[in-house]
Structure 1
């Protein structure tokens, strides 16, 4: 997956290793004295106001990460020659080596801090979001929601294309005002301390957020959990929401089909696979997230491979994830989970959603105007006929030649173009 021939030997050289280990006690003392966890960003008290926010992870946390990465106790090599047992040991070592020796978190911080970010309290929880206003008059406000194992990182490559289309060969009338929140329990949003933060409650919070920002007419978009949140927005229809778009229509066939078409047969097979080995992670998240969290919150390598496996499996590639996403942007996302200590809280989102009866992965009927773009390598592609039966007002449907589950992240240009086309008649 990673070109090991171009990387340095695994881990740090012994002198550098000793220097890091020698500084561990001093780093720990600094962390304790300051009250800062090396594995988490403290949850500050949020305000109903839109409070400006900047990402600034303490240097001690970065050093702690390096120390942990140099002290990994590796498992045995897998006993197969492919990825049937998970992330191969050689790929894991290559990723960690790059993480230690070449990756630069501060570069990501500088990038994300170029965008206006805020935190605000909604329903007792601090919500982090990016809000970039277009310079163009009559831009259409849009709220875009990520999923797991993604984050707001997924949408960064689309922001300028959507807010400033004229810089990318588009027209001023194609512009959007962009809002990108972190789901509760993800990124720099608070980790819920009480029950009930499911997709419905998240959708209600997004309705409050868009009203609080001042938008009285807006649209929504999402993939993965963001798709479910967007479905729930469409069903709950908060004030101002006029239409929505998803790249993963959550329309599943729950009854046995007597004579499925070849397309339906292929989709039924993918559904069966999702309920088996491919869905094992979701079963763990949805049933015992707390048990899983102990390992992932304590081991950056564990956190990394838990995420990497899905990026590898769900992105549009021929056996190497870096064909779809650069190693740096993948580590931006993994590092975000690590520094915010959200392995457990993000997994718990599955538990919360499954308590609402979403076990069959079907979101139910929608009357709001809906649009969908189906990217070629998405792991589940509902047939249009199924979607039309569930959505009474499907106004846009298109298939896209490239891209997988992480559509905005993998193909920001194609993804942005889809949103422009989908919402063109709603301007």
Structure 2
């Protein structure tokens, strides 16, 4: 069995989620149907809504089920922008952090290209924390033109946790809604939608031990959203589409399980993370931990390894039986430096050496030890490959060919 250190991408199904999923998959019934099977499926959905609301610190009426975090982010950002713009055409500005997940970043950029939005990118410091001074400056400048603010609760790559309550408090002074992608935070940190001051908050099942293909958007009861898709009017006419009772049931079971044991499990995983950081720093002294050292997700350890490509290191670790991630986007098969690391001030060369190790509910000390055993040789080989590639590029310079 490989050592799995990519829980930030997706984490294995928890036992409660698997039990709920298999039970519901054996049954039939559309939650929108009026007959007995439909009413039974509807009860499963509504019971799950209450369970998830309790886990997320929300009211059941604030839970809108979606197909995952990406859809929830799209619904929040587009829905808030369109609703706020319809109420006042001056509201064209979107304040967005420079380290957002593509589900938010690409949505904001789409609104700029197609819906006349004006985007202000909020900078971050070297640890990946959003500048509150920059945010306040934008709020003081022209608050009546701001449609919304969007800042993720915790970064998916470097694990840095944002001061969400300070952000929402600053925005509330001007009546501006704030959305947060809490996909990485929910199930790893104490998250309360009611206490956050957020207008909307996205969460996802497969990051917490639930199945892929189901998520939710928490929407404040006073918040107006323009729907992104239309159809049967499900989910308060905010998100039409037949509800996945089995997936929703498994999501709720996973959420109840993970939040019910959150303090103890977070401490266990954070202890493993700290051990992993020590192991990596001992194995490769040149490796640099990225993200805030303490204000970070309990299961996240993100490093840059100088002199090598992150993809090379990933594949060499994979050959050694350790599964990790570069944490960076890949466009058309061409590796690109992480926009998160670039926003934090790293050079492209530094950013290309990224590697993310993320822990979860199945992680153990043996996994960390396996990484420590595999990393030195994998790093040396990746570094040699990186140097060879660089030398080849120099030798072919001026020949008219580029590697």
Bin of the TM-score, shorter chain as denominator length: under 0.3
Superposition TM-score, scaled by structure 2 size: 0.25
Superposition TM-score, scaled by structure 1 size: 0.24
